[in-house]
Copies of this chain bind each other. A is one copy, B any other.
Amino acid sequence: MATYMDVHHGMKDITADQLKAAHEADLAHEAEEGVHFERAWADPESGTVYCLSRGPSPEAVQRVHDKAGHRADEIHRVPLSI
């Protein structure tokens, strides 16, 4: 298991309800891939969303996002954290 930070662009004007719905869609699909989405942060002005997850691979993280209907633009493994 590793920790990942993934980034979505193009989410301009995302609302709190939309972020919540997107996160819940991830949670609905994550178990199939052995992934857990822990946190998400959104900047509606630039349209950027950051998701913090734990999972077996970046491909597994992407598959959850794909099933939830919002593919990530970048997925970074972040083995170091404070």
Using a CB–CB distance below 8 Å, which chain A residues touch chain B? 3, 5, 14-16, 19-20, 23, 39-46, 48, 50, 52, 76-82
Question: Which residue of the partner chain, among B14, B19, B81, contacts A39 with CB atoms under 8 Å?
Answer: B81
State in angstroms the CA–CA spacing of A20 and B39 once bound together: 22
Q: Which of B5, B16, B23, B79 contacts A50 (CB 8 A)?
A: B5
Q: Which residues of B contact A82 (CB under 8 A)?
A: 19-20, 23, 39-41
Residue of B3, B20, B41 touching A5 (CB-CB under 8 A): B41
- Please tell me which one of the listed residues B3, B15, B48 contacts residue A41 in the complex, with CB atoms under 8 A apart: B3
With a CB–CB cut-off of 8 A, which chain B residues contact A45? 76-77
Give chain B residues whose Cβ lies under 8 Å from the Cβ of A5: 41, 43, 50
